[in-house]
Structure 1
Amino acid sequence: MTFMLTVGMGTLPPGVPGGSVVPTWRPGQAALARGRGAGAVRGPCIQALISAAPPDKPVAAMRCRFIQAFGTTLALASAVAMPAISAADAGRTEAEWLRLAVERLCPEPGLTGLDAQTALPGSWLLDETRRPDDGEPRRTVVRLLLPGTDELTVERRQFGGRLRQFLVSYAAHDGEGAWPSLQAIADGGCAIRSGRAIRREEGGRQYLDQLESDLRTLKWTETLQAPWPAGEDPGGVRVALVDSGLAYDLPLFRDRLARDGEGIPLGYDFWDLDPWPYDGDTARGPFLPIRHGTAVASVLAREAPDAALIPFRYPRPDMTRMAALVRRAAEAGARILAMPLGSRNPEDWRGVENALARHYILAVVSAGN
């Protein structure tokens, strides 16, 4: 394994996130970016130079890692000699990849991205994060590209040097992106205890299947996404609920949704930017949705039975969308804006404040928890 380091003063190049790993494979060569200023490192170490003699083993992978610290851009190139991938490795099923990852990676207390890449045949390191990034990490996440275009994400959770949980997730690529499909959950002894699978069906429906340790036997199923139910506008005061979404296909809510003239409910998903704000806070990951909005909506349904609900899924990835959410709620005729959520960042509320000043709407926001 060969490491080379170069330092350039300035910022990371456009489109290259800190700590990202960019493939720069060149058989028999090592790549190194040199220069100064913001243009010192461009794309996948495009300023590549031969900086070492060809290794005595074939170079199976080359990586260039960009790191920024104290205003300095670092480019770290590494060459790893790995065995060629076999036909059996290339033909593994999703479940087989998960089991292999648990078997080979879970027992490693000091797991690194390059260790994972070496242990899993034909994989390529995409990125690696450690939290906290100083001292002993409590959470290590490694993302790998598998033979073909699918991806594997490994997450190690430990405390006091002791492994608590080991998660391996598979994402299948469909030509447009990599979509999470299967997850294995192992305990501190590296034994798989359960699994989760995301299943997609026609019409936009998505389900989360809870599986036994064999990653096949179904325990129960939860809904992740569903189209709007048919129905009529109930009338009454319109209340916009801004939360993790709403399980609007439940009988309790089907007839309480505010609708337009064509009978289409008026809510929107500002998290995923689609028309179906189904309940699910996926900040912890797509396999671990938190259902908060439905519980809050049940209180509204009980305390204000004549109100018509307009569900919105809040924009966790980009809170600047909150201003557009307020405008949309006002245009939909909402008189009350219920926001049982919070943020310590004042900028997240700036757009909300400005939008509320332009509309006749009462905002009820949580002051604590």
Structure 2
Amino acid sequence: MKRIQMVDLEGQTASIRPQIDEAIARVLDSSRYIGGEEVMSFENELSTELDGAFVTSCANGTDALQIALMALGVETDDEIIVPAFTFISPVEVIALLGAKPVLVDVYPDTFNIDCEAVESAITDRTKAVIAVHLFGQCADMGKLCSIAKKHDIKLIEDTAQAISSIYCDEKNMSGKAGTIGDIGTTSFFPSKNLGCFGDGGAIITTSETLAQSCQTICNHGSEIRYSHSEVGVNSRLDSIQAAILRVKLKNLKDYNQARRQAAARYDSLLESIPGITVPHRNKRSSHVFHQYTIQIDPSITDNKSIKEELQLADIPSAIYYPAPIHEQKAYNLLDYKEGDFPVSEKLSKTVLSLPMHTELSAEQQEYIADRLKEAIKKWI
């Protein structure tokens, strides 16, 4: 059996190596390393995948979030609502802009932002909500759009883990992740469902005005060289990464389908094991399984103990995330305390992400399931 990896980028690359080599050679032959045809073509092709939304590429997913906030006019002391259970980037960029992150809890089954908590957190200083589509499926965009409209605030979608996931509710609101709110962002970090060979990101919007603003901000606040109309940043996707992403974008549907098949195999292998809860599927969203995240019954043991047992069997796993945002030292000034976000606090002790990627074999998954079952038995 092949060595189990959390993400098998080597195996994925091997299957498309000739196309990758050709794409890189094309850039080298052109000597256009910043901007140019490859970047423009990738943006257009991703736009097509996202049903015609405007796409502005940038250097990474964190920059994408900051640029989106800047384009929306976020200012010092504005309040931005964000989930307490997420990667640090959304909170980080809010703080960097001098705005105030306002944390809210998440739902215990989907791990996505709690809509009722969002509405309760809105004040007259609230500028926007960041809905992080965690682990591969959309937050409840129908409710969030209604809340945003009711209170005249902006809605930002962080689709770093859910690119091409589709939201559709009983009221016929539908669309791909990143195209439903005012503006969306994504990351092309190598391990993402659509990942490059370095860093990369993009901002997505159906508003031409916002798209133009994002393009200007990305380029030092400049539309015309050496003429700067607003404060900007230097955040660009390089041509080699764009060329690689063009190759991988052609395979994105197959990649996502491979992940769904692997998730279904995990379900059948794990759902009968006591003490384990397999990922919940929100009926309003497709799931692209950036992560396959189970929960460990805390009355049996904690996620760290199971992680250690799996490691002894040469099985990698990860805890996303080992501490909610309000427990991070950098954000002590937000003045939250233990118990303020009980779901997020509990999830940090129960979630465990298993290997999930396009190259995962049935044999590997059976081995993982067997070892997981053995590990759980030690505490039952």
Fold conserved between structures, TM > 0.5: no
Which structure features the higher share of strand residues? 1
TM-score w.r.t. length of structure 2: 0.22
Which structure features the higher share of helix residues? 2
With a CA cutoff of 8 Å and minimum separation of 6, indicate the structure with the bigger relative contact order.
Answer: 2
TM-score w.r.t. length of structure 1: 0.23
Which has the greater radius of gyration?
A: 1
